[in-house]
Amino acid sequence: MARTLTLAAIQFTPSDEVQANLTRVAGFVREAAARGADVVLPPELFCGHYFCKTQEEEHFARAVEWSDHPAVHQFSELAGELGVVIPVSIYEKDGPHYYNSVVMIDADGTPIGVYRKSHIPDGPGYQEKFYFRPGDTGFRTWETMKGRIGVGICWDQWFPEAARAMALMGADALLYPTAIGAEPQDAGLDTAARWRRGMQGHAVANVIPVVAANRVGDEGGQVFYGTSFIADETGEVVTEFGRTEEGVLIATFDLDHIDRARAAWGFFRDRRTDLYDILL
C-alpha cells in the first residue's frame, strides 16, 4: 500500500485579538481534518496583526515562553483530538532572548520541538531584526506520526540552502508559514509571483512538495497578498488561493512515488560537496 501524506494550508485575515484568532484557526483546522488532512499549516505569527512594520518597544510584550503560550496549549489539545500535525507559529520569549518560532505539535498533541527562524529580514515594513534574534536551532526536520516534516519561516523561504538542508535531513514535505505583502518603499513593487517561484524552485530542486500559508487583508495600510499555495514535487502549483480568499487548501501526495522520482533525478546522488566546501 502506498504511503500518502495529505497537506493543508490556512489563509485568513487575523484580527489583533489573540483568542479570536486562535478560535478562527481552530475552525480551519477542524475543516482541514474533516477533509482528510494529516498536517495543517497556519500562517506566520497568526495570533495577531503583523507588528514588525515599525519599531515599537510595546510589542515585546506579545512574546511568551513557548511552553506557556496559549496557542501551543490550545492547538496541542486540538491536534490530539483530531489526530493532525500542526506547526504553530509564535513570538517566543526565552529569558532575555526573543525569537520568531514554530512549535511542532504531533498528531497525538505532543509538542515535539521548536524551530527558531534562521534568516531575519530588515527593511521597510518588515523590521524584524528589532524584534527577533537569528534562530539558534539550526534547520529542522521532524519525524511526526504522519511523516517527516521540514518547516522554514517566511524569510527562510528565499534561501535554497535552507530547503536543501531540510531535504537532506529526510523531509517528506517543506512547509513555510508566511506574512508577506506590500512593500511600503515602492507601491509599484509586487513580489507575489517571485515569492511563489522561489519556493516552486525548492520543490523542483529537491523533488519535494512545498506548502506556503500566507495571511490576507489590510493591517494599518500594509496589505498582505495571500496567494497561498501547495506545489507538488515537480514545482507545479496543484492548489492555490488568490489575494482575498480565506479558507483551507488541501493536497494529497504519494510519498513512495516521490521517493522513486527523487532517486531517478539524481540531485542528491550528484551533489559535489568537495566543491562546495571551498565556499565555507
Specify the DSSP class assigned to residue 225.
E
CA 217-23-117 angle, to 5 degrees, is 65
Q: Which of 53, 92, 93, 117 is catalytic?
A: 117
CA distances to 30, 52, 54, 197 from 231, in Å: 22, 28, 33, 10
Residue 134 cell numbers, joined: 537569528
* Torsion sign, CA atoms 175, 50, 250, 240: negative
CA 34 – CA 31 distance, rounded (Å): 5
Write the CB contacts of 69 (distance below 8 Å, at least 6 apart in sequence). 88, 90, 92, 103
Q: Which of 93, 128, 146, 154 is catalytic?
A: 154
Residue 261 cell numbers, joined: 522520482
Check if 47 is active-site.
Answer: no
| Alpha helices by DSSP H, the chain | 18-34, 70-82, 160-168, 192-206, 255-265, 273-276
- Maximum C-alpha span of the chain: 54
Q: Which of 44, 92, 128, 219 is catalytic?
A: 44
Q: Which residues are catalytic?
A: 44, 117, 154
